């Protein structure tokens, strides 16, 4: 097996939009996508290892390029869900040849993620609880700590036998008819509240409450300090803010339900969270609770949170709907056949094709 060279992740600061597209990929295309992705995964894992595949699939540029190469539209929201579905099917077909697990998916399949992780935990003989917690935490952070107007509807969690993992999830804004993709990669020094993503892909949408940013550190500490007060003190402070706050901030007076907030603030106070992330994990702590607390941090503690949108990536290419040209089935099939032949001959010692493929990648 080849030696893996991990490269420092480079942030690109361009932006793109992922418009919502209805319908499904035609069967003839999806089947080819599965075969194509299967060959790509097998080559990467064979040459560089499972961790390298996670690193690449969590890179928004590489992920988008793979979807384009597989024949899907470069700017479509469906690229995320369809490519993840193809990856899941491909890994399933590869079986024990590729030590990867792909869990979750779109809609109801996302809710099956914990159960599927448990199945692989039993199969591979490890405690799956830690991975289940990370899966849920990534989803909660992108749904609650990053308040950008997008609600998650897709969650794919990919991991190895060694416990390395990657997350690809997507949110929807029905009013804007656009989608936003969030991507993660595990690492030893990962802090879930310090710019944890490998990338967020979308158009800029104006005022974004981003409590998963390094710039929000003071606001997070202020919020944690605030919830250590007696619940009556907290509600009294919120009442004053509700009367004095401007009509349209990132939260309005109508967004604050004091009766509900009192219940959840009492619960938080009783749980005595020592770290901000411990508070976030508490069931019931949602968007409005976090937004109200961030308002306290800004107006009472003078510690404003970050409003910087983390979305910052752009791409090119096309396919499924004929942009920039229709998928050429014959050429696609020949590509799949070449990739499969390259990995099969490499396994028996003939590396001529796979070395040619490696040289091509240098361009």
Place of tokens 């804004």: 173
Interval 297-342: pLDDT, tens? 998 999 999 988 887 543 332 344 544 445 556 655 665 665 666 6
Q: How much is the average pLDDT of 107-131?
A: 96
Question: Is pLDDT at 22 greater than 90 in this prediction?
Answer: no
Q: How much is the average pLDDT of 29-46?
A: 90
- In this predicted structure, what is the pLDDT of residue 47? 84
pTM: 0.81
Place of tokens 């299967």: 38
Query: From the CA atom positions of the chain, what is the Rg in Å?
Result: 23
Question: Is pLDDT at 68 greater than 60 in this prediction?
Answer: yes
- In this predicted structure, what is the pLDDT of residue 248? 59
Place of tokens 């190469």: 69
- In this predicted structure, what is the pLDDT of residue 111? 96
CB-CB contact of 159 with 147 (8 Å): no
Question: Is pLDDT at 356 greater than 80 in this prediction?
Answer: no
- In this predicted structure, what is the pLDDT of residue 94? 94
In whole numbers, what is the pLDDT of the chain averaged over residues? 82
Burial of 319 (0-12, 13-18, 19+ CB in 10 A): buried
Handedness of CA 324, 326, 330, 332 (dihedral sign): positive
Please, which pLDDT band fits residue 231 given cuts at 50, 70 and 90? very high
Interval 247-257: pLDDT, tens? 657 787 777 88
Question: Is pLDDT at 188 greater than 80 in this prediction?
Answer: yes
Q: For residue 239, how many other CB atoms are within 10 A of its CB? A: 12
């Amino acid at each position: 097996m080849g030696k893996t060279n991990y490269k420092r992740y480079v942030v690109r600061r361009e932006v793109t939009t992922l418009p919502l597209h209805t319908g499904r990929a035609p069967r003839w295309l999806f089947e080819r996508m599965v075969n194509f992705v299967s060959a790509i995964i097998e080559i990467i894992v064979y040459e560089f290892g499972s961790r390298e595949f996670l690193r690449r699939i969590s890179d928004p540029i590489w992920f988008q390029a793979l979807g384009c190469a597989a024949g899907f539209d470069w700017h479509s929201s469906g690229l995320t869900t369809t490519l993840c579905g193809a990856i899941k099917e491909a890994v399933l077909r590869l079986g024990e040849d590729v030590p990867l697990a792909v869990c979750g998916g779109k809609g109801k399949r996302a809710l099956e993620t914990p159960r599927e992780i448990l199945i692989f935990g039993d199969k591979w003989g490890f405690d799956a609880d830690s991975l289940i917690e990370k899966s849920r935490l990534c989803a909660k952070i992108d749904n609650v700590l990053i308040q950008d107007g997008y609600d998650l509807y897709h969650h794919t969690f990919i991991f190895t036998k060694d416990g390395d993992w990657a997350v690809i999830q997507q949110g929807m804004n029905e009013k804007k008819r656009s989608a936003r993709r969030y991507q993660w990669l595990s690492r030893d020094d990962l802090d879930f509240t310090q710019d944890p993503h490998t990338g967020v892909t979308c158009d800029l949408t104006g005022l974004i409450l981003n409590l998963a940013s390094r710039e929000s550190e003071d606001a997070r500490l202020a919020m944690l300090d605030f919830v250590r007060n007696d619940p009556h003190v907290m509600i009294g402070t919120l009442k004053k803010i509700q009367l004095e706050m401007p009509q349209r901030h990132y939260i309005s007076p109508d967004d604050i339900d004091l009766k509900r907030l009192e219940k959840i603030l009492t619960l938080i106070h009783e749980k005595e969270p020592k770290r901000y992330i411990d508070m976030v994990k508490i069931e019931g702590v949602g968007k409005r609770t976090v937004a109200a607390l961030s308002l306290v941090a800004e107006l009472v503690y003078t510690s404003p949170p970050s409003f910087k949108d983390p979305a910052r990536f752009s791409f090119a290419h096309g396919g499924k709907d004929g942009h920039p040209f229709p998928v050429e089935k014959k050429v696609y099939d020949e590509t799949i056949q070449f990739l499969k032949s390259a990995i099969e001959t490499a396994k028996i010692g003939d590396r001529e094709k796979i070395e040619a493929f490696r040289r091509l990648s240098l361009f």
